[in-house]
Amino acid sequence: MKEEIKITTPLYEEKVIQLKAGDLVKISGHIYGARDAAHRRIFELIKKGQKLPIELKGQIIFYAGPTPVKPGYPCGSVGPTTSYRMDPYTPALLKQGLKGMIGKGLRSKEVIESMKKNKAVYFAAVGGTAALIAQRVKKSEVIAYEDLGVEAIYRFYVEDFPVIVVIDSAGQNLYETEPPKYAK
């Protein structure tokens, strides 16, 4: 196992290209939470050339919709949702300067090609560890599309949010390289 790398947001190309598939990373700073419905709206705005509710340049989007906040806690349980549902929208967001995505599961060829072209990184958070991840979220707020409820855009302030680089900006992909090593 590699040593952990600490990064802070925003994330720029120089840092992105140093991150390699298999790296264990701890993220600190602001990240955005957005899932299916928010992606669809952002995508429509990009297509029409209209202003987006958040600046994507240098940012990380966490594919997540948290549980409601229990009193006394900064955030509800929040873990990654499956990423492939965001694939149809993702290349357009990467073109706008999005540098990182946190989710779980496979990505399409188009997304991986776009990540290579636009120098972006795909992190996996461990699915089903929402209570653990929530402890690394120090602040959470809805900043756009409140009408979407759980599918609104959130802004989280995180400290040492644990992720794994699954697909790096060169297209190295742990989901392809690792299972064959253990297959019988």
- Our finding on whether 171 is near other proteins (CB under 8 A) is no
- Our finding on whether 146 is near other proteins (CB under 8 A) is no
Contact segment (CB under 8 A) with other proteins among 6-14, 47-55, 88-96, 125-133 equals 125-133
Buried b (16+ CB within 10 A) or exposed e, 14-31: ebbeebebebebbbbbeb
- Our finding on whether 129 is near other proteins (CB under 8 A) is yes
Please, where are the H alpha helices in the chain?
A: 13-16, 36-48, 90-95, 109-118, 130-134, 174-177, 179-182
The residue with tokens 């790096």 is: 168
85-104: which residues touch other proteins (CB under 8 A)?
A: 104
- Our finding on whether 132 is near other proteins (CB under 8 A) is yes
Beta strands 60-62 and 24-33 are parallel
Please tell me which residue in 15, 35, 39, 136 is annotated as part of the active site. Answer: 39
Q: Which residues pair with 154 in a beta bridge?
A: 33, 142
Q: How far is the CB of 119 from other proteins (least distance, A)?
A: 23
- Our finding on whether 180 is near other proteins (CB under 8 A) is yes
65-84: which residues touch other proteins (CB under 8 A)?
A: 65-70, 73, 76-79, 81-82, 84
Report the half-sphere exposure of 172 (CA within 13 A, side-chain side): 12
8 A C-beta contact, residue 53 and residue 77: no
- Our finding on whether 178 is near other proteins (CB under 8 A) is yes
8 A C-beta contact, residue 68 and residue 76: yes
- Our finding on whether 117 is near other proteins (CB under 8 A) is no
Indicate if 30 belongs to the active site: no
Question: So which residues are the catalytic ones?
Answer: 39
Q: Point out which residues bind other proteins (CB under 8 A).
A: 1, 22, 24, 37, 64-70, 73, 76-79, 81-82, 84, 104-106, 124, 126-132, 134-135, 149-151, 162, 164, 166, 174-175, 177-184
